[in-house]
Amino acid sequence: MNWILKMAWRESRGSKKRLVLFLSCIVFGVAALVAINSFGSNLEEAMDEQAKSLLGADLVVEGRMPFNDRVEALIDSIGGSQSRETLFSSMVMFPKTQDTRLVRVRAIEEGFPFYGILETRPASAASDFRAANGALVDQSLMRRFGLTVEDEIRIGETTFPIAGEIINIPGESITAGLIGPTVFIPFSAAENTNLLHRGSQVWYNVYIALEDRHADIDQLTKSIEPVLDNNRASFDTVEERKEGLDRTFSNLTSFMNLVGFIALLLGGIGVASSIHVYIRQRITTIAILHCVGARIQQTFGIYLTQVFFLGLLGSILGCLLGVGIQFLLPALFSDLLPVEISYSVSFTAIFQGLLLGTGVALLFTLSPLLSIRSISPLLTLRSAYEPSGLHKYGSLQLLTYGLIAAGILAFSVHQTGDWSDGLGFAAGIFAAFGLLRLSAWLMVMSLRTYFPKSWTYVWRQGLANLYRPNNQTVTMVLSIGLGAFLISTLFLIQNLLLDQVELSRGENQANVILFDIQDDQLEGIGETVRSFGSPVIQQVPIVTMRLSKIEGRTLESLRDSEERRIPGWIYSREMRSTYRDTLSPGEKIVGGSWTGSYEEEDGDIPISVEQGVAETLELNIGDEIEFNVQGFPISGKVGSFREVNWQQVQPNFIFVFPRGVLEAAPKFHVLVTRTEETETKDAMQTAIVQNYPNVSVIDLDLILATIDDILNRASYIIRFMALFSIITGLIVLTGAVMTSRFQRIKESVLLKTIGASRKQVLKIMVIEYLFLGVLSAATGLILSLIATWMLAFFIFEIAFVPDFTPVAVTLVVVTLLTVLTGLANSRGVYNRPGLNILRE
Amino acid sequence: MSDPAILQVQNLTRVYKSGQHDLTVLDDVSFSVAAGSTCSIVGPSGSGKTTLLSLCAGLDRPTRGTVTLNGVELERLDEDERASVRNQSVGFVFQTFQLIPTLSALENVMVPLELNGNRNASGLAASLLDRVGLGGRLHHYPAQLSGGEQQRVALARAFINRPAILFCDEPTGNLDGETGEKVTDLIFELNSAHNTTLIMVTHNLELARKTSRILRLKGGRVEADEEVNITN
């Protein structure tokens, strides 16, 4: 063992450049994994430490309607410190600028948050705004509309002075503010807005900080759950909130880990290629060692030891780099995080990085290392005998491939935490690597078979270089192709998702939706809309109701008896249904028959049910269903199943009644319109909010811009992770070019000797790299189109219309990068003195 | 009474596959070499000299026949066992020196002893290198040495484990005349000092005549087996 260590050290002295490349291949993959895992661990610790501030209380009791006496008595019995909140969405207007915006209004009592800090500017505003009967306004709104403290905000029928801007709400990320900016007002002021009428979507919450800070929350929630359930109320605890966030962020870090893992695998291929060539160059040394009495295990041990220590050293450097990068990640995620992160080095992440880096280095080099077994000592006498002996694929080689596959699968399953997801990811990796390898092989075979003999010498030589002995074509196609695949897939998916949202911006598509229009406001609002030159595209009555019985059984009894699967949201949610005599565009009857109008003598009321919900509730045509329509029971039969295109920008419904049933029920209306000009839209919104303060205006263009913004933030993170794969790909590419550098020098010197000009030699190299770049990138891009199509079809269930602009840009950029890397690493090849090279 | 045979070759045949055809490079060769003697194997290119050397040293396996080296029948051994026999009983000198380029002169010479776990390899190697005139170049790498110097390092490496038999393959083939002579003198000097059996493959008849026996090969067979009267 001592001799093996000594020989491993001695043997490494003459190969510094190659070994630096070897290290670099591993470094970035390990760095990515350590950074992500360490960050994940910091995030977990932060969430543990700041768990209570995620909710701002120990417990929240929630309801969609004012609590009844039973629930109120229960809340009183819990005791502790309590803070009540009325939460609803509403349009607000800023009188100074006349701008309007849909916000989440939180009318809240003193006390909240019991844990964590409501950060405002000025800081005193967080506690003073109630006394001043003022409002706290989200900082994004303040910035967007150029507002300052002491400007005003109008909510419903009340105008509030702005007491401060909200910097941070415990448990909420900045991105949450982008989706629905928050405005705090005093709890008692909610009623004065006159927005809490019947049919409005209002949440009633009570934040509770228990007297006994160490009380058993689980036990408490178990005791209150039945009462809350039976009275259509619910609760949220710190643990539940934390679990939800844990799941979200663990999914995110797992995804990023998998992207980082791809960089490490790419590095593994680079290492394997580098060791393959290294061993080829060491054939004579190994033969000499065998000749003077070294056993196969001993020579194998020398190079295995080198790989082990290099892998370990690369992993250590990767860990150091990863720890550095870890400090960048919170900045990258800052807008998405609900907690403040403190930095600490995670030794588990470092250990995992060392293990993975060294493991990948060892696993991927086992195959080229095994070829040492077939190097005969006879090579010392006859260099032509068994010239390589390196391509024997015995059972050990197969075992190595099996180990690599098992390693990839184990990591994927570990990261995704699910066998099928892990298998899917691993299968994707194998498919991508396999197809890239296959395309490289096909390229080499096609070039050999259909070699363009009529082309000029320079072109023929450039092409022939792709399949000459010791070529690095496969390694290069893998590294370049995988890089192109990753970048392109990320762009395509982002564009795909944006295109879906973009569809709503198409011509004649609605871009403004007006909610909560009362019966007596309908005509006036219609006139207002038309006065701005906008059409009333759709006008829909909405009746809120709850599903109460199926086939005569209450939902509670069905849920308790577990006869039918009743999802929680169906049970607790107040549903918005409509009545009409025709199907909407995008709807299709897939079962039963559509009935548009109803008269009492027709018997049972035929109700149309959305297909997916019907399947969930296991409903059949003719089943009896009963609704509680704001206190009045209305029952009917399932008349038809509808397929609904939820992506259609229009009010879509689960339950649709025929005309003649719900006309007299308390209802509100939704009006859908379209305005071309932003100024017109803003003016229309202002006019509506001023005259009809209870009406909410949803600006789809604004939502689109917000989604665009969020997707950009998310894709920025993903691209950051993809960067590791790209850097590793470039290193592998550099390694592959440098590996064949000596051969290139020899060739170019030979060419120079027999009269080739510098320009011709350069042209040969450009042609070679150009072909490599184009073919590898094209293969990666074709794979990315297939992968995106599969994601679109199977995961997002949307049509995939490829955007070829990013594909074309990636093709050009990757090809240019390949040619430049190739040429940069071939610098000086032509200038090398001839005689020395030819004598070597 | 003559010394016992250190190398016994019985009906040795080596056939290589060449496409669809079999190529018999060595055909039913038998001979034995006494311990401590010197023997040259000569013959034209393609006569089977190097093949015979490789089989005698256990670097290759015969198609038929046996080689008994220092009492051990090589065909019965696997690759690692033959490596062990080479390490303990055999020294090599090659035409192309075959030094490990990443090791210094001293380290190259130490390798055979280190393989045995010998802790004094460095001292022994240094003294042997000193003996071949390279005491001042212990830490030079092969690329920093001339051809003659490299061959002297190879010679030191061949003798470091006090081999029972030394196989030389055209030891002066890559050297100029004067350097070749110096190396030859050194081979015989060390051989005599260590009482090692010497088997040398060469084209150089003048060099061959320095050994006590010449085996002439032709077409894979022993054409002649001559005793030589050594005059110098």
ipTM of this complex prediction, to 2 decimal places: 0.90
Whether the pLDDT of residue B14 is over 90: the answer is yes
Structure tokens at A550: 């199926």
Are A381 and B94 in contact (CB < 8 Å)?
yes
pLDDT recorded at residue A649: 66
Whether the pLDDT of residue A562 is over 80: the answer is no
The rounded distance, in Å, linking the Cα atoms of A60 and A220 is: 12
Cβ contacts of residue A14 below 8 Å, gap of 6+?
A: B101, B102, B141
Choose, out of B111, B153, B202, the residue to mutate when testing the contact with A (most A CBs < 10 Å): B111
Structure tokens at A122: 């000025």
Chain segment B140-158, per-residue pLDDT in tens = 999 899 989 999 999 999 9
Are A295 and B84 in contact (CB < 8 Å)?
yes
The rounded distance, in Å, linking the Cα atoms of A180 and A178 is: 6
Whether the pLDDT of residue A383 is over 50: the answer is yes
Cβ contacts of residue A252 below 8 Å, gap of 6+?
A: none
pLDDT recorded at residue A173: 64
Residue that the structure tokens 């005509």 belong to: A523
Chain segment A365-378, per-residue pLDDT in tens = 988 898 888 888 98
pLDDT recorded at residue A572: 66
pLDDT above 90 covers a percentage of chain A that reads: 20
The rounded distance, in Å, linking the Cα atoms of B157 and B106 is: 9
Contact B98/A at CB under 8 A: yes
Contact B89/A at CB under 8 A: no
CA–CA min distance B40, chain A (Å): 17
Whether the pLDDT of residue A300 is over 80: the answer is yes
Residue that the structure tokens 């809340």 belong to: A75
Q: Which of A236-245, A370-379, A784-793 shows the lowest per-residue confidence on average (mean pLDDT)?
A: A236-245
Helix (H, G, I), strand (E, B) or coil at B6: strand
Q: For chain A, give the mean pLDDT.
A: 83
| Residue B127: band (very low, low, confident or very high) from pLDDT cuts 50, 70, 90 | very high
Partners of B115 on chain A (C-beta within 8 Å) are: 3, 292-294, 298
Helix (H, G, I), strand (E, B) or coil at A677: coil
Strands (E), A422-461: none
The rounded distance, in Å, linking the Cα atoms of A669 and A517 is: 5
Asked if residues A680 and A470 have their Cβ atoms less than 8 Å apart, the reply is: no
Q: Are strands B221-227 and A512-517 parallel, antiparallel or unpaired?
A: unpaired
Partners of A378 on chain B (C-beta within 8 Å) are: 54, 59-60
Chain segment B30-49, per-residue pLDDT in tens = 999 999 999 999 999 889 99
Residue type, A279: I
Are A296 and B80 in contact (CB < 8 Å)?
yes
Chain segment A86-115, per-residue pLDDT in tens = 998 888 888 888 888 888 899 999 988 888
CB-nearest to A292 from B53, B79, B87 is: B87
What is the four-CA torsion angle of A447, A452, A458, A459, rounded to 10 degrees?
Answer: -60
pLDDT recorded at residue A703: 73
Cβ contacts of residue B12 below 8 Å, gap of 6+?
A: B26, B28, B29, B30, B52, B55, B62, B64, B65, B66, B67
By CA distance, what is B104's nearest residue in A? A10
Residue A226 vs residues A220, A230, A235, A751: alpha-carbon distances, Å: 11, 6, 11, 88
Helix pair A238-281, A283-291: axis angle to 10 deg: 70
Chain segment A55-65, per-residue pLDDT in tens = 888 889 988 88
At B214, which helix (H) or strand (E)? strand B213-218
pLDDT recorded at residue A99: 83
What is the four-CA torsion angle of B201, B207, B210, B211, rounded to 10 degrees?
Answer: 10
Contact B72/A at CB under 8 A: no
Helix (H, G, I), strand (E, B) or coil at A564: coil
The rounded distance, in Å, linking the Cα atoms of A20 and A32 is: 19
By CA distance, what is A376's nearest residue in B? B59
Residue A625: exposure state from Cβ atoms within 10 A (0-12, 13-18, ≥19): buried
- Tell me the mean pLDDT in the region A508-516: 79
By CA distance, what is B49's nearest residue in A? A381
Q: Are strands A59-63 and A233-237 parallel, antiparallel or unpaired?
A: antiparallel
CA-wise closest residue to A149 among A141, A157, A182 = A141
CA–CA min distance B87, chain A (Å): 4
Chain segment A676-704, per-residue pLDDT in tens = 787 888 888 888 888 888 888 888 777 77
The rounded distance, in Å, linking the Cα atoms of A126 and A103 is: 19
Contact A17/B at CB under 8 A: no
The rounded distance, in Å, linking the Cα atoms of B30 and A391 is: 36
pLDDT above 70 covers a percentage of chain A that reads: 91
Are A10 and B117 in contact (CB < 8 Å)?
no
Residue A624 vs residues A554, A606, A638: alpha-carbon distances, Å: 12, 10, 6
pLDDT recorded at residue A516: 83
Partners of B169 on chain A (C-beta within 8 Å) are: 381
Q: Could you tell me how many helices (H) and strands (E) chain B has, helices first?
A: 7, 10
Helix (H, G, I), strand (E, B) or coil at B174: coil
Are A293 and B54 in contact (CB < 8 Å)?
no
Structure tokens at A366: 């086992």
Chain segment A117-163, per-residue pLDDT in tens = 888 999 999 988 998 899 999 988 888 888 999 899 999 888 999 99
Partners of B53 on chain A (C-beta within 8 Å) are: 381
Asked if residues B56 and B67 have their Cβ atoms less than 8 Å apart, the reply is: yes
Asked if residues A805 and A752 have their Cβ atoms less than 8 Å apart, the reply is: no
Contact A288/B at CB under 8 A: yes
- Tell me the mean pLDDT in the region A338-342: 73
Cβ contacts of residue A417 below 8 Å, gap of 6+?
A: A250, A254
Structure tokens at A698: 């949803």
Cβ-based contacts under 8 A for chains A and B: 80
Residue type, A24: S
Helix pair B147-159, B121-131: axis angle to 10 deg: 130
Whether the pLDDT of residue A662 is over 60: the answer is yes
pLDDT recorded at residue B231: 54
Contact B117/A at CB under 8 A: yes
| Residue A390: band (very low, low, confident or very high) from pLDDT cuts 50, 70, 90 | very low
Are A11 and B102 in contact (CB < 8 Å)?
yes
Are A294 and B79 in contact (CB < 8 Å)?
no
| DSSP code, position A123 | T
CA-wise closest residue to A722 among A494, A438, A513, A570 = A494
By CA distance, what is B100's nearest residue in A? A285
Partners of B101 on chain A (C-beta within 8 Å) are: 14, 285
Q: Give the side-chain half-sphere CA count within 13 A for B210.
A: 17
CA–CA min distance A301, chain B (Å): 13
Helix pair A758-790, A419-449: axis angle to 10 deg: 140
Whether the pLDDT of residue A641 is over 90: the answer is yes
Q: Which of A278-292, A382-396, A706-720 shows the lowest per-residue confidence on average (mean pLDDT)?
A: A382-396
The rounded distance, in Å, linking the Cα atoms of A719 and A486 is: 9
| DSSP code, position B125 | H
Neighbours of A387 (CB within 10 A): 12
What is the four-CA torsion angle of A169, A170, A172, A178, rounded to 10 degrees?
Answer: 10
| Residue A450: band (very low, low, confident or very high) from pLDDT cuts 50, 70, 90 | confident
Cβ contacts of residue B44 below 8 Å, gap of 6+?
A: B218
CB-nearest to B94 from A295, A296, A380 is: A380
Whether the pLDDT of residue A671 is over 80: the answer is yes
Quickly list DSSP for A362-377.
Answer: HHHHHHHHHGGGG--G
Choose, out of B100, B108, B155, B200, the residue to mutate when testing the contact with A (most A CBs < 10 Å): B100
Angle at A685 between CA A682 and CA A686, to 5 degrees: 85
Choose, out of B59, B81, B202, the residue to mutate when testing the contact with A (most A CBs < 10 Å): B59
Quickly list DSSP for A765-779.
Answer: HHHHHHHHHHHHHHH
CA–CA min distance A248, chain B (Å): 53
pLDDT recorded at residue A831: 67
Q: For chain B, give the mean pLDDT.
A: 89
Q: Which residue has the higher pLDDT, A630 or B186?
A: B186
Contact A135/B at CB under 8 A: no
Helix pair A296-326, A347-370: axis angle to 10 deg: 150
Residue type, A579: Y
pLDDT recorded at residue A462: 83
CA-wise closest residue to A461 among A449, A473, A447 = A447
Quickly list DSSP for A259-299.
Answer: HHHHHHHHHHHHHHHHHHHHHHHTHHHHHHHHHTT--HHHH
CA-wise closest residue to A641 among A658, A662, A656, A660 = A656
Asked if residues A235 and A221 have their Cβ atoms less than 8 Å apart, the reply is: yes
Residue A16: exposure state from Cβ atoms within 10 A (0-12, 13-18, ≥19): exposed
CA–CA min distance B158, chain A (Å): 8
The rounded distance, in Å, linking the Cα atoms of B57 and B37 is: 16
| DSSP code, position A756 | -
Choose, out of B50, B80, B153, the residue to mutate when testing the contact with A (most A CBs < 10 Å): B80
pLDDT recorded at residue A388: 42
By CA distance, what is B141's nearest residue in A? A14
Cβ under 8 Å to A: B residues 26-65:
50, 53-54, 59-60
pLDDT recorded at residue A387: 43
Contact B228/A at CB under 8 A: no
CA-based R_g, chain A, Å: 34
Contact A294/B at CB under 8 A: yes
CA–CA min distance B103, chain A (Å): 6
Asked if residues A518 and A668 have their Cβ atoms less than 8 Å apart, the reply is: yes
Cβ contacts of residue A450 below 8 Å, gap of 6+?
A: none
Residue that the structure tokens 């539940």 belong to: A240
Residue A449: exposure state from Cβ atoms within 10 A (0-12, 13-18, ≥19): exposed
By CA distance, what is A285's nearest residue in B? B100
| DSSP code, position A198 | T
Whether the pLDDT of residue B213 is over 90: the answer is yes
